[in-house]
Amino acid sequence: MKKSLSELAARITPEWTLFLDRDGVINRLLVNDYVKRPDALEILPGVPETIARLNRLFKYIIVVTNQQGVGKGLMTAADLEEVHNHLRQQVERAGGRLTAIYACTRRSDEPGNCRKPAPHLALRARRDYPDIDFSKSIMVGDQDTDIEFGARLGMVTIWVSDRPGAFTGAHFPDYIIRALRELDALSV
């Protein structure tokens, strides 16, 4: 049975937090590559405007992203910060605001690291914003690890995919959408 976003909208109150993955949700996912420069960040259609509308619903909108390109030496932390500053500027031009961006820059083959689905990025966010309640949070992502990350923390999970029947993760998402702008349904 497919759940309706209108059911979720009825539950959201002003203290809720929205966690967003970056690549594949906010911007186009580069297959076998990393967004290393601001001009390589191709923001998906309608995303800045959607974030601006979602700012009216959520206390915090926080990006949590695995960015192992830094750990692999393919880009620097400064390069990543330039990309994120560009992203913030694009959202601000549309009248929106990202509360924070947390990135794990370690390689996936490093043991015990901060990469999703490990909870480290969300725990860092809650350390910086102590009133975050994971039971009043939504995680939106396009990878199984994003959904597992949210589910482990007790968040509502939303999978972004144009292949809804293809989910193979251990924790099935609560909702499935094709693009972030479908979350405009929450503000109706």
Give the tens place of pLDDT for each residue, 107-146.
888 877 899 999 999 999 999 999 999 999 999 999 999 9
Q: How many whole angstroms separate alpha carbon 158 and alpha carbon 7?
A: 13
Residue-level pLDDT at 95:
97
Q: Can you give the CATH number for the domain in which 105 is found?
A: 3.40.50.1000
How big is the chain by its Cα radius of gyration, in Å?
15
Residues in the chain: 188
Sequence-distant (6+) residues with CB within 8 A of 120 are: 104, 113, 114
Q: Which residue has the higher pLDDT, 82 or 109?
A: 82
146 given a catalytic annotation: no
33 given a catalytic annotation: no
The residue annotated as part of the active site, out of 21, 79, 142, 146, is 21
Residue 14 preceded by cis peptide, ω within 30: no
Residue 127 lies inside a defined structural domain of this protein: no
Residue 47 lies inside a defined structural domain of this protein: yes
Residue 121 lies inside a defined structural domain of this protein: no
- In this predicted structure, the answer to whether residue 75 has a pLDDT above a threshold of 70 is yes
Please give the tally of structural domains in the chain. Answer: 1
Residue 158 lies inside a defined structural domain of this protein: yes
- In this predicted structure, the answer to whether residue 2 has a pLDDT above a threshold of 70 is no
Residue-level pLDDT at 112:
76
pLDDT in tens, 156-183: 999 998 776 666 767 889 999 999 999 9
The residue annotated as part of the active site, out of 23, 79, 146, 174, is 23
Residue 43 lies inside a defined structural domain of this protein: yes
Residue-level pLDDT at 188:
64
Within the chain, strands assigned E span 17-20, 60-66, 100-104, 137-141, 156-160, 175-177
Residue 122 lies inside a defined structural domain of this protein: no
Q: How many whole angstroms separate alpha carbon 157 and alpha carbon 134?
A: 11
Q: Which residues of 98-130 are buried (b: 16+ CB within 10 A; e: fewer)?
A: bbbbbbbbbeeeeeebbbbbbbbbbebbbeeee
Residue 101 lies inside a defined structural domain of this protein: yes
User: Coil, strand, or helix at residue 146?
Assistant: helix
Q: What is the mean pLDDT of the chain?
A: 93
Residue 48 lies inside a defined structural domain of this protein: yes
Q: What is the pTM of this model?
A: 0.94
Range of the domain at 79: 5-114+136-142+152-171
For the residues 97-107, what does the mean pLDDT come to?
95
